[in-house]
A = this chain, B = another copy of it.
Amino acid sequence: MLMVANRYTHIADQLRVQIGRGLLAADDRLPSEAELMTEFGASRPTVRLALDILQNEGLIVRRHGSGNFVRQPVERITYTDDKLSEDTRTTVAAAVKVPVSTKVVEADNSLCVLLGVPRDTRLTEYVYRSYQGSTPYSLARIYVPAGVLAADVPRTSASPLGDDVRAALTSSGVQLAATQSRITARLATAEEARTLQIGTGTAVLDIERVSLDPAGRVVEAALLVLPSYSAQAVFTTHSLVRDLEAA
């Protein structure tokens, strides 16, 4: 029975090598499941498990009804802090498309906990879905209490993680005194897997970010979901001695 596990791992290894060597290049379609079954003398479930592995590693995209394609390698998003200003920020090397949708929602239980507001508080929700080429690679939901900033409706953004909402807060006179980022790794949920065209076995970086004004009120909160192969978070801590020299 160990054969089963070894079989699909072996098929995944073979395909990974072909992608690594460029025999299968970005946007190339992989052989069909039927062709792979013949090539490797394997059953359909075995071939599918092999394809699951490659999808979870971010090497292929599975498009329902049209087959499996080698994923365009993406430039990594770097989510970073900038300790001597008030901000976190995002750096992205390549051009991204970021359609933004905006609506007013009422805080559910988890948002009440995140923002420290009473249930049913009205919040503006900004949903940022970023793409590099046609490849989705990040999902960000930003929440701002309705009383803090009126909802405007950006249609697109240059920032995949909502930096322009933070800029809008600052320029409207709301001071971001402290920002806390809570980072965990987990597997994608079924909904995230659909949205990001990844498998549910894909590791994602999950960042909950909360920004406080000088009075300790939460003025912005964000839920960021970044597939493992598309993002890193970088934080730099300087010693107090250096802080004073810099200041």
Contact = CB atoms under 8 A, between A and B. Distances in A.
Interface of A: 1, 4-5, 44-45, 48-49, 56-57, 81-88, 175-187, 201, 203-206, 214, 226, 228, 231-244, 247
B243 A243 contact: yes
Contact of A86 (B48, B177, B180, B240): B240
14 contacts: A1-B45, A45-B45, A49-B49, A57-B187, A84-B243, A86-B241, A177-B241, A183-B235, A185-B186, A185-B206, A214-B241, A233-B233, A235-B235, A240-B247
A81 B203 CA distance: 24
Nearest to A179: B237
A192 to B, nearest CB: 13
A200 B50 CA distance: 14
B185 A237 contact: no
Contact of A237 (B178, B206, B234, B243): B178
B233 A179 contact: no
A225 to B, nearest CB: 10
A86 B237 contact: yes
Contacts of A181: 234-237
B179 A236 contact: yes
A85 B242 CA distance: 10
A164 to B, nearest CB: 18
B186 A235 contact: no
